[in-house]
Amino acid sequence: AEIITTSLSSSASSFFIMGKNDHPVVVEGTAVPHASPYDHTTTTTATATAVGGTSGGEKQETRCRDPAFALLLYGNVGAIAAVAAIYGSDAFSEAISETDAGENSASGYSYTGYMYATFILSAIAMVFTGITLPIMMCIPTLLIKVSLLLMLVLSGLMMAYFFVLGNIIGGIFGAIFFAITCCYTKCVWSRIPFASINLLTACTAIRKNVGVILVSYFFVILAFGWTLLWAVSLMGVWDKVVTEQEQEYTDAGGNSYTYTSAQANYGYLFLLFLSYFFTHQVIQNTTHVTVAGTVGAWWFSPDQSGCCASGMIGSLIRSLTTSFGSICFGSLLVAIIQALRALADSARNGDNQILVCIAMCILGCLESLLEYFNKWAFVYVGLYGYSYLEAGKNVFTLFKNRGWEAIIADDLVGNVFFILSLCVGGICAAIGYGAFDGDQELFANSVSPETVPATCAVLGFVAGLVLASILMSTIASAVNTVIVCFAEGPAEFEVNHPELSRQMRETWLRFYPDCGV
């Protein structure tokens, strides 16, 4: 899907919307026809219109959108909870008993030290994750340049690695990938200012509404709880999902052997995968819609900004009530594709490798396209309060009229998020390796004291990577919302946030002198 997006971007044209004095205004991102759901009759908005802004769209009527899909989600969660309670509790208790028996027979090994290490390293990861926000605000351009160069270096090292191993085919593919990366870097280097100003604006919005980060962490905890509940229910119905059959095998010498093979019931397996991915997507997209509404409130009504101000609280309430059905609708579409991918992967064997590979490739492309579609549609849902299909119509307009510079900007910002997440994970891994060892009292009864530093390093890396990724995904949602809001309300931005607006306009005028912003 990334290859398709890159190839499309080379032929896409820039997008214009009409601004002051009917001059075409080049906007990084999307044509959003009056996307603001906020009251544009206020004094602030009146002043914005006076300086040449665009009038806002109509706020949608307060009612539940796409309620059938919300009911479907409730039914899904209720069904899994019922299965876990009826069938899973006994299986879970049995597994715990077997684990306890194994620990007792293994000289009473204890994992308490690792639990404490995980909590400590997670706290450290949250500190370093918080530090990345002001860093991104101070040096966004440098971070984007470093991330691009680092990706270039990594692709070159991969090519060299294959050639050193004597893998000529792998080296050739590595060389092709390295050449593509070089061309990509050269093409997008001039567009770095667009990505950096978007990143700076998004980080500013998140810093002014830091409570939305706490909301993101809450939803991650909720996703972890859902994973545990789903796993318990899977344990309860495992015998129905996977059955074992004895089969005979005769070798070339005429010797017969009996072995046990596992046969999966793909109908049950698909429903279980669909259930898991559906709820997980809903949790993830609820965070996205909440961030979009919060950034929209900061953009158009900065007096509603704050740690737990009305802008963020109102956006969260709308995401969990009136817009929840729309979130479930879009999430279900992606979940179906993800369930089919998981099903195809589970059906992989030595006889169908090529077919499964083709199916996985097609489904992967469809999933990426749907996720890209939802990324923008849910920004509209968060700003307008539209139903999913109504928001989708605007997204088709978005794809038709937008300039593809925004896609490249998104990719550049994504590189920064990935590199920073790896850095936080690496720092926590180093701390875990250096701060803990098997001689400490915490690890007195650990399974293998000599591996304690390495194990703590892995735990630190995972904790740092996961916690940093949560913040990065929140900022990524804010970046998408900034693109839409700048297309819809540059005048409001000028009035409410003049310094950021000046930087954004100067960035565009540097590359598009006649853009009219």
In the chain, the amino acid numbered 55 is S
What is d(CA 504, CA 140) in angstroms, rounded to the nearest whole number? 13
Cα gap 154→426, rounded to integer Å: 16
Tokens standing for residue 192: 């770095």
Range 346-371 average pLDDT: 82
pLDDT tens per residue across span 198-235: 899 999 999 999 899 999 989 988 988 998 899 888 88
Give Cβ neighbours of residue 317 (< 8 Å, ≥ 6 apart).
none
Evaluate if residue 328 carries a pLDDT over 90: yes
Question: What is the chain's mean pLDDT, rounded?
Answer: 78
Q: State how far the Cα of 405 lies from the Cα of 409, in Å rounded to an integer.
A: 6
The distance in angstroms from the start CA to the end CA of the chain is: 33
Q: List the helix and strand counts (H, then E) for the chain.
A: 19, 4
Whole-angstrom distance, CA of residue 379 vs CA of residue 323: 12
Output the six-digit token pair for 433.
Answer: 């390796």
Q: What is the DSSP letter of 139?
A: -
Comparing 190 with 258, which gets the higher pLDDT? 190
CA geometry: angle 24, 29, 30, nearest 5 deg: 75
Mean pLDDT within 86-115: 62
Q: Give me the pLDDT at residue 451, please.
A: 84
- What residues contact 243, with CB distance under 8 A and at least 6 apart? 262, 263, 265
Q: Which two tokens stand for residue 28?
A: 């990084």
pLDDT value at residue 323:
94
Q: Which range, 115-129, 238-252, 322-336, 446-460, is most confident? A: 322-336
Is pLDDT larger for residue 53 or for residue 293?
A: 293
For residue 363, give the nearest of 466, 265, 273, 476 by alpha carbon.
273
- The whole-number average pLDDT for the span 265-290 is 91
Would you say the C-alpha torsion 56, 57, 62, 64 has a positive or negative sign?
A: negative
Chain position carrying tokens 């205004």:
25
Section 106-115 average pLDDT: 64
Helix (H) or strand (E) holding 497: none
Q: Is the pLDDT of residue 30 over 80?
A: no
Other beta carbons within 10 Å of 132: 21
pLDDT number for residue 350? 59
Kindly report the pTM of this predicted structure. Answer: 0.77
Mean pLDDT of 59-70: 84
User: How much is the average pLDDT of 17-27?
Assistant: 37
Give me the mean pLDDT over the 149-173 stretch: 91
* Residue 351: predicted pLDDT: 65
Q: Are 12 and 404 in contact (CB under 8 A)?
A: yes
Is residue 2 scored above 80 in pLDDT? no
Q: Is 439 exposed, middle or buried (0-12, 13-18, 19+ CB in 10 A)?
A: exposed
Amino acid identity at 94 = E
Number of residues in the chain: 517
Q: Contact 277/470 with Cβ under 8 angstroms?
A: no
